[in-house]
Structure 1
Amino acid sequence: MSDAELKLQLDMSPNSILLTNCEAAEMLQKIQGHMAILSEDPKIKIPEPLKDYGVNDGEICMIANIGPETIEEVYALIPSLKATRSINEGKIAEALTALANIKASK
C-alpha cells in the first residue's frame, strides 16, 4: 500500500469502502435507473401530500428510508411532527400505506 492510500484510509470512516470510478459509475447508473422507474409511476407521489402539511424534505427522506410501520413510530422518529398531529396524521397514514405497497410490490 502506498503512503497516499494509507493516508486516505485514515481519513475514511470505518464503515466506508473505496470504489474505482467504474464501480461508482455503475452504482450511480443503477440508482438512476430506479429513480427513473419511480418517477415514471404516477402513483408514487409520497412527498407531495406531506409537504402540504409542513413536513420538510429531510423528514420525508427519514420516513421513506427508515420505513416506520405505524404512525406512532413516525412521531417517535420525528417528534416535531407531534405539534401538528391533528392535521398531518391522515396524510402520514396514507404515506405509510403507499410505502408499504411499494415494498410489497418489490
Structure 2
Amino acid sequence: MKILTGNDLKTGAVTWWDGSDWSLHVGEAVDVGEDGDAILAREEAARRVNAAYAIDAEMTASGVRPAHIKDRIRGLGPTVRPDLTLKPGDPNAVREVI
C-alpha cells in the first residue's frame, strides 16, 4: 500500500492524500497504487502542498498505519507524551497543533 504525505503550503501542517484532497488525519489517507507520481506532480503544480512524497503503509484493524516510524510520528504526533499526540476525532485538534 502506498499513501501520500506532504505539508500544507499555507500552514505547514502535515497532510495526507484522501483521494480527492489533503487531510490533516492520517486515518483518511488512501492507497494511491501506481498513481502516486501523477497525483504528486499535479498537486505540487497546483501549489497546494509542499515536499509531498509517497510512503509505504499498511491497513490495520485501527486504520492506515505508515510503515516507517518517522511517518508514524508525522501522522500521530510525539511519542514521549500521549497528551501531546494529534487527536483526529477532536475538531479542536487543528487549533491546538497550529
Scaled by the length of structure 2, the TM-score of the pair is 0.26
Q: Which structure shows the bigger proportion of residues in strand conformation?
A: 2
Q: Which has the larger radius of gyration?
A: 1
Scaled by the length of structure 1, the TM-score of the pair is 0.25
Q: Which structure shows the bigger proportion of residues in helix conformation?
A: 1
